[in-house]
Every structure is written in structure tokens, then in C-alpha cells.
Amino acid sequence: MIGSEDKCDNEILTTVSPDGDDFSSIANSSPWKPASDLRCMRDHSLIYYNDKVHKPYWLCAYTAEYHQRPAIKGDAFGLAKSGDLIHWTQFSPVAPSGIKEKVLHAWSPYLFQDPADGAIYVLITIGTTVDWKGIGYIKCTDPGTWKHWTDWTPFQHLAHNAGEYNGAAIYYLHGKYWFFYDDASRQNGYQAAEAYITSTTGFLSGYGQPTYIPSLNSTLSIDDHFNKKPPKQYRYEGMSLVWISGSIWRLYVQEIGHLNGVYINDIMGFVESDDNIATWGPFQFLGDSTSNVGPFTASHVYRLDTLKQSPK
């Protein structure tokens, strides 16, 4: 698991688990904070970058917002690399281009390497001074230096892609692309629902109708455990699909409650499938996440041995 501690929210801290249930910090490690003026650092995603020429490393993208840098404030996401998931080197922030209005938020950057050609993309949710643009993508044109990216393009395969959708993640398995996202649309009563669409033809084509995960559709597990006024809105972040063993898979999520723009509850948990993602069980809390605020914010969970496999 890679994420920020709940009381800091501006550091990278990597924890490990032998079973996917109980996580602990890597021995002799401490959180990494890249800049003193960083106010918010969350929504971490990770790939293993290996160009077969240079020494491979872990590449991490994260939401970044700054106190004293109004020129970029929240309109750029951060990038950093590490050889051991403990010591990190920061790259220049990436500000998505090609958006007419002024960008205020470049949130939930999700790194993805397309197995078809090895191209590296970032899925990202954009908010501007006018409205929320929803989920889109950019493609890196100089992998390794990470300075040049294509213009931000809306992801065209969501029915009502706007601010109603948030936090995407994509995987390639079983011969399909699986695109997971949080649907908080008006069609769904503005309540969070975790959904996915699949394609057999490519990352940017051929997607069908969404499938909703019943146990992550307007889940009220927060209110079941905390005697608080129900939030006006739920949503999920940090979606992470992880193979456990055999036909068992887990979808890890962070369940968030909002009331008047304020975080009420913040919990890490998962749903599990024992039939290769055909059906899903109930929402379960992760480790000690039964406290008011979970141990990490917008964390992603990875099985590192599968990340190190060649995307081709």
C-alpha cells in the first residue's frame, strides 16, 4: 500500500502486508515529504518503469496542492521515482494542457502502461474555474524524463462524464481492459457507486455498458459504525484491483463521506471476489480502519510481483 498518513496528508509512506489484511511500515523507513510548501499529497498511483536500457524504478504519481505556489496551486500533479519505495526523487510537476478554462484541480492521477504498445498514460480528473470536466487522460511522449505530455482528452466512454465521475483506475487482465470509476451522478442520486466498463479492443475503444458492484453502491457502512449525522454525499477513491490467489481478487477502496464540503468519515476497506471478478462479496474494513479516520488517505494497494511483470 502506498499513501499518506491520515494526520499528515502531504507525505509518501509505503506499507507492506503478507496477506493483504494487516499492513505495517517498511522496516527503518520514514515518510517522504517532497516540499515544505506542499499542502496536500494524496491519490498515489504506481507503475514499475523498465525501459530495458536504464536501471528500472518505481514511478509514483500523486495529487499535489501547494500553499505558496499559486501559479500551480492544484493545477498540476506530482511525479517521483524510487528504487526501493522508501527513498524518492521528485520530477517537475505536470500541468495538463489543452483545457480552455483555468484549471484549479488536477486530481487522482492514475498511471497506466498500455500492454498493447507500452505507452504510458495518466488518467486524471480535472476541475476548472467554470466546471468539473470529469475523467480524461494524457500520454507521455518522452518516457524517462516525464516532461512532455499530450493535451488532456476527455475519456469518451462514460455516459455522462463530468464532475459526477471521479477517481478512475484501469487494468488489463483476462484479455480485457477493465476501467473502474466512482459514479456519483445525478442518475444515481448523487450517492457513490463503484462501476466498471470493459473492452476487448483497446484502452480507448470498444467499451460497453457499466457494471455496478452491489456492495459498493451507496454503501452505508460508515453510518453503520459511526453515530454521526449521515453525510450528504459518499464517494470512493483509491480503487485498487489486486489478485490474491487462484480465482480470488480484491477491490480495495477508500470510502469517504462529505457533509457541506467537509470530510466526515474516511475508511479503507475492500470487497472480495472468489470467482475471477464475476461476483463480489460485502464491504469489509481493512485492518484497524474501524476508527473515525482510516490509516491512509486515498491510498492504492498493489501486488508488487505482478507490477514488475512486463506490460507486453
**How deeply is 148 buried, as exposed, middle or buried, from its count of CB atoms within 10 A (0-12, 13-18, 19+)?**
exposed
The least confident of 38-42, 174-178, 179-183, 278-282 is: 38-42
**CA dihedral over 270, 234, 225, 298, signed as positive or negative:** positive
Percent of the chain with pLDDT over 90: 37
Evaluate if residue 230 carries a pLDDT over 80. Answer: no
The least confident of 84-88, 118-122, 282-286, 307-311 is: 307-311
pLDDT of residue 236: 74
pTM of the predicted structure, to 2 decimals: 0.87
pLDDT of residue 30: 74
pLDDT of residue 26: 77
Q: What is the pLDDT of residues 64-100, one digit of tens each?
A: 876 554 544 678 899 999 999 888 999 988 999 999 9
- Is-contact 32 44, C-beta < 8 A? no
Residues 213-234, mean pLDDT to the nearest whole number? 56
- What domains are defined for the chain? 2-307 (2.115.10.20)
What cell was used for 142? 518522452
